[in-house]
Structure 1
Amino acid sequence: MVARVRADGGRLTGAGSFLSELCKAVLERGLKAELGEHLGYDRHAPAGRGSGNSRNGSTPKTVQTEIGPVSLDVPRDRAGTFTPMLVPKGERRLGGLSDVIISLYAGGMTVRDICHHLRRVYGTEISPDTVSVVTDAVLDEVKAWQTRPLDAVYPIVYIDALVVKVRDGNQVRNKAAHLVVGVDCDGVKHVLGIWLQNNEGAKFWLGVLTELRNRGVRDVLIACCDGLEGLPAAVETVWPHTIVQTCVVHLIRASMRYVSYADRKKLAAALKPVYTAVNADAAETALLELSGSELGRKHPTAIAVWERAWDRFIPFLEFPPSIRRIIYTTNTIESLNFQIRKIIKNRGHFPTDDAVIKLIWLAICDIEDKRARDREADRGKPANKRTAKPRLVEGATTHGWKDALGAFEIAFPGRITSTMVL
């Protein structure tokens, strides 16, 4: 094989390549050794005479690997009792090919793109249905993750959504895929689950929150979201003492939609006294002054955004700066959604709801794995030479959590301590 590579410059991978032929030789030798162990005697050994079972030729079989297709001659016994472990019966993929397929899928490639990539790079012929079967193998892991037990209390829960296209019968519909991120009592962030909205707001959110409660979540102090329809009513039903807080950054962005580019910086500066006020009365006074000013009269629709969301905004003003800095925005979950959107943007639509949840879960795992490998590569380097990014969401710590935890204990006396003791 080495002589052939030197003579004609043969490929290392692909059908009939150096590595595939080497893999063939190793596997066939291993299969013959397995058969010998199963029969209890070596080939042509006298011990096989009258044993009742013997070698009976071989069966051709082609398996797909990450180095290309490998054609094997699988030995068999006359009694038909030989079950190889090295290349199991019915197995058509070996080695890390399934891991390669799942990695490509998590990176945003469609099943047909994956088939084309494997054919072009490895010479491996795999159908789109086979790729779907391989990726569907993770659904059990997704379901186990989606139903895993959770902590009893989460001081903060962030909720945000991204829109995906999903086939529903003969048409493609836009659906909101909601991600829920919780901050535990140690300040560590966790993705609690992924849900696709299929019905009206209040009914949907009641189902989601009830599921979280059934998984062990007994209390949430603050639910930070972007004015999701039906969520406040569902929260009051499941966790009556939870405060629903509208994201301040979302309010600013929503108001800027109605403002000309020339006036955006002016209005943003004029809104700052509203969301940095010491209390609700001072914030209301600042908003009234802004609405009566020339800038406010010029953009009344932008002011109306704050007036409509006022009841869900003012809880923010009751907290000290240590808590305000944490619940000021849902950027924690928006950063995750931004990374996921980059992965799903190449897809026209998804065939099922399970396909959406499967890809988002794989994307989260893939993103965190990449960052973990980069951090491991930077280990031991001086701080100014490290380029690896920190954890995106899962397992990330909240900056300034110690001060915030003390403020939470004062603002919500007993609700954290009692649960931690339990």
Structure 2
Amino acid sequence: MTKPNFDMEAALAQLREGKDLTGKDGILTPLIKQLTEAAMQAELDEHLKDKEQPNRKNGSTSKTVKSPAGSFELSTPRDRAGTFEPQLVKKHQTHLTDELERKIIALFSLGTSYQDIRMHIEDLYGIHVSNGTINAVTDKLLPELQAWRERQLEAVYPIVWLDAIHYKIKENGRFISKAVYTILGLNVEGKKELLGLYLSESEGAHHWLSVLTDLHNRGVQDILIACVDGLKGFPEAIESIYPKTEVQHCIIHQIRNSLKYVASKNQKAFMADLKCVYKAVTLSAAESALDDLEAKWGEKYPIVIKSWRSKWLTLSAYFKYPDYVRTAIYTTNAVEAVHRQFRKLTKTKGGFTNENSLLKLLYAGMLKASERWSHPVQNWNLTLSQLSIHFDGRLDDHIDL
């Protein structure tokens, strides 16, 4: 029996009535079904023509196929010998293209909930997808994530920012807090690159040591400047793996921690005096301002002054550079911007059922964020020239001089 051809006049009439081209009961669904079945019949004809052994057509089997234009019953042709393997729509394949999967992953990478993804796919394509299906699709990111975490890195990174962000992850029936360690690097071309994501039950110098060891094992031979928060023991962990690396403690973290110990009524005046320290033009001016700060506030807030004094070597490292270099290294804002992107993705989620459910979401979000990292950071050529002077010889084999 000859199958009816796609009725163009009826389709045009439906279009005038305002019926959708795609989606549930879309106008184009019968046409896609017809074209797909015709192409598969052509595949079978070609298969039968090439075979030396006697073989012939043997009817068809039916299965429901989902497509961007809507779902339909597809008749798959068979051969008598059972040797025909269709290529256009393979056995057990239930989606006509991978467009649905790309759409699901795109929505997932924006932090869209599974419920909203289901609704969006239903509205757009007229196709119902379960949470299990969405999970199976997004799980396809996991091998890609693993390969990304194990990839070889460049030998030298002029600047690296290190920080951690915390999430609740379910383990043994209860949610516990775990730290995700984020390593953001600036390569010799001045482009940002997320070097890795690492998970641990707590943020600590001991675990940072294993993180830095992993970076070294993946090919990072040298880091010129490491910008870190105020974690105790962190500089020592860096020194054990990268002894020549200059450590810059984040000024913003130090200020926040200082204000915890300053009475609210004094914070405005204290900050005005403290600003003279970290905004000083030269190191000697900064040290003079720190002396003045201690003279005025030392008796009232000795623990704050002691903290600045004990960390002064790493807090003041940026004073040796001009403004355009200082801006890049005096704070961990660069990696905190990545964390802000992560928080946007995870803000509607109280916790995660396992580590993979968190990591694949952060990885998808990282891929989205890194699309904007295609150009060097501002004033990179000037910054690189300064770094080449301050770190004599350590960049010679990695840049065109």
Give how far 1:260 is off. 6.0
Aligned mate of 1:359, from 355, 361, 375: 361
Q: Normalized against structure 1, the TM-score is what?
A: 0.83
CA contact (8 A) 2:179 2:203 kept: no
Does the C-alpha gap of structure 1 residues 140 and 38 become closer, same or farther in structure 2, counting only changes over 3 Å?
same
Q: How far apart in 2 are the matches of 1:243 and 1:416?
A: 15
* Aligned match of 1:387: none
DSSP-derived class of the 2:377 partner = coil
Counterparts of 2:190 and 2:203, CA distance in 1: 33
1:82 and 2:66 matched? no
Distance 2:192 2:244 in 1: 22
| Of 269, 273, 277, the match for 2:276 | 273
Contact in 2 for aligned 1:64/1:93 (Cα 8 Å):
yes
Change (3 A) 1:200 1:298: closer
Tell me the residue number matched to 2:150. Answer: 147
| Cα distance per residue 1:281-312 (max 9 Å; x no partner) | 6534422322332x666666654553454343
1:235 corresponds to which residue?
Answer: 238
The answer to whether structure 1 residue 175 and structure 2 residue 154 are counterparts is no
Contact residue 198 and residue 204 of structure 1 kept, 8 A: no
Q: 1:51 to 1:318 in 2, by over 3 A?
A: closer
- Asked if the contact 1:151–1:216 (Cα under 8 Å) also holds between the matched residues in 2, the reply is yes
Task: Name the counterpart of 1:405.
Answer: 384
What residue in structure 1 maps to residue 338 of structure 2?
336
Matched residues in 2 for 1:51 and 1:332: separation? 67
Identify which of 160, 173, 191 aligns with 2:194. 191
Q: Which amino acid aligns with 1:240?
A: P
Instruction: Quote the offset at 1:280 in angstroms.
Output: 5.4
Contact 2:193 2:370 in 1 (8 A): no
Give deviations 1:247-270, integer Å, cap 9, x for gaps. 112222333345566654433331
Letter of the 2:37 counterpart: E
1:101 partner amino acid: I
Say whether the 8 Å CA contact 2:69–2:125 is kept in structure 1: yes
Is residue 224–residue 244 contact of structure 1 (8 Å, CA) maintained in 2?
yes
Between 1:270-279 and 1:139-148, the stretch displaced more is: 270-279
Q: Aligned pair in 2 of structure 1 residues 235, 367: CA closer, same or farther (>3 Å)?
A: closer
SS of 1:415's partner is: coil
Structure 2 Cα separation of the partners of residues 403 and 3 of structure 1? 62
Instruction: Show the 5 A alignment for 1:195-210.
Output: 195-198=198-201, 201-210=204-213
Instruction: Provide closer, same or farther for how the CA distance between residues 200 and 252 of structure 1 changes in structure 2, counting only shifts above 3 A.
Output: closer
CA distance in 2 between counterparts of 1:77 and 1:64 reads: 24
Q: Secondary structure at the match of 2:86?
A: coil
Kept after mapping to 2: 8 A contact 1:15/1:123: yes
Determine if the alignment matches structure 1 residue 13 to structure 2 residue 22.
Answer: yes
Tell me how far apart the structure 1 counterparts of residues 250 and 342 of structure 2 sit (CA, whole Å).
21
Residues 61, 261 of structure 1: alpha-carbon distance in 2 compared, 3 angstrom cutoff: farther
Q: Identity over aligned residues, as a percent?
A: 39
Amino acid at match of 2:81: A
Question: What pairs up with 1:98-137 in 2 under 5 angstroms?
Answer: 98-137=101-140
Structure 2 residues without counterparts, runs of 5 or longer: 1-9
Q: Please give the secondary structure, in 2, of the residue aligned with 1:213.
A: helix
The residue correspondences of 1:148-163 to structure 2 (distance < 5 A) are 148-163=151-166
Tell me the C-alpha RMSD between the 2 structures: 2.8
Unaligned segments of structure 1, at least 5 residues: 42-47, 370-390
CA distance in 2, matches of 1:175, 1:317: 35
2:3 maps to none
* Matched position secondary structure for 2:59: strand
Alignment partner, residue 388 of structure 1 = none
1:244/1:130 CA distance change after superposition, 3 Å: same
Contact 2:188 2:398 in 1 (8 A): no
Kindly provide the amino acid, as one letter, of the partner of residue 103 in structure 2: V
Letter in 2 for 1:24: K
**In 2: Cα distance, 1:178 partner to 1:22 partner:** 51
CA 1:62 to 1:221, structure 2 compared with 1: closer, same or farther past 3 Å?
Answer: same
Alpha-carbon distance change, 63 to 296 in structure 1, aligned in 2, over 3 angstroms: farther
Whether the 8 Å CA contact 1:35–1:75 is kept in 2: the answer is yes
Specify the SS of the correspondent of 1:175. Answer: strand
User: Alpha-carbon deviation of 1:62?
Assistant: 1.1
Q: CA deviation at 1:12?
A: 2.7
Contact 2:159/2:185 (8 A) holds in 1:
yes
Q: Shift of residue 345 of structure 1?
A: 0.7
Written as runs of structure 1 = structure 2, the 5 A alignment for 1:231-270 is 231-259=234-262, 263-270=266-273
CA distance in 1, matches of 2:343, 2:203: 24
Other structure's SS at 1:224 match: strand
- Contact 1:177–1:194 (8 Å) recurs in 2: yes
Tell me how far 1:118 sits from its aligned partner: 1.9
